Amino acid sequence: MFSIRALQLILREKKSRIIGPGSSFGLINAFCTSSSSSQSQRLAGKITVITGGASGICKAAAAEFVRNGARVVIADVQDDLGHAVAAELGRDAACYTHCDVRDEAQVAAAVDLAVARHGRLDVMFNNAGVTGSRGRPPLGAVDLADFDRVMATNARGVLAGLKHAARVMVPRRSGSIICTASVAGMAAIIGLVRGVAAEMARSGVRVNAISPAAVPTPLALGAVGSWFPERSAEEIRRMVEKEVNLVIHGAVLEAEDIARAALYLASDEAKYVNGHNLVVDGGSTVHRSSSSSARPSE
């Protein structure tokens, strides 16, 4: 690497003439440009499947991954939105496939599509999810059909993603699987991630979770809006952004923040991160724990 003194000498020698691309200064400039470029391509060449990628967090993740050099298969049930996102990202970078994660065969088909098109799968982001009915009803009023619907997507669908991603990653002894949980719950996902991470470690496949606080995605806003129909759209957004979360001064949690967390876990920068639950909540869970421990015992 050039020292500062060497660089000063080169600049002094070349002061009176234009420095061409073949000069030492040109090499320094090329090195710096290359370093900057490689830093911005943290997923260069990596093949990714994102479930739920047509909107919200995973739409942001698809865009972030493509910006960083990945090729993305967007797997969702929102066909019009999915095709639109893929077109926006570019035919060479993204494609869309219909995938209802409640159907294992469709999850398997999304994984197989990535392998058929690109020869392998490097990253699987299991993010597809739905919301349940409002609040916490008393036990006698629990709607088991609603429970089954949520668990079929948010838990069983994740297990299907884990299973079929591992099916194609283990033979190559490489891969990163990311599963979305939540600071609001979804302990089933954390349990799955930890168990599968331990099993997959010696196969070279990493498995991690992300637990976001409330993000004002269309899914979240729509759910809260249905629970509080008397509130305006602006009031609903404020509830999600500020009243549910612990607010960091000057910051609002956005889908792009979760996308960047997923980018890290997907990248080689996280090569030794396995079985981890990355909490992105501005300290909300810590604040709640501290508040609880500070209360006098009854």
Q: Is the pLDDT of residue 36 over 90?
A: no
Structural domain 120-294, CATH architecture: 3-Layer(aba) Sandwich (3.40)
More confident residue, 1 or 172: 172
Give 188-240 pLDDT, tens digit per residue: 999 999 999 999 999 999 999 999 887 776 766 666 666 677 878 777 777 66
Q: Assess contact for 62 and 72: CB atoms under 8 A.
A: yes
Taking residues 5-17, what's their average pLDDT?
41
**The pLDDT value given to residue 135:** 63
Q: Residues 17-41: what's their mean pLDDT?
A: 43
- Segments in 41-156 forming alpha helices (H): 56-67, 79-89, 104-118, 144-151
* Helix (H), strand (E) at residue 75: strand 71-76
* pLDDT on residue 42: 96
Q: Running DSSP on this structure, what letter comes out for residue 54?
A: T
**C-alpha atoms less than 13 angstroms from C-alpha of 125 in its C-beta half-sphere:** 36
Structure-token pair, residue 174? 């490489």
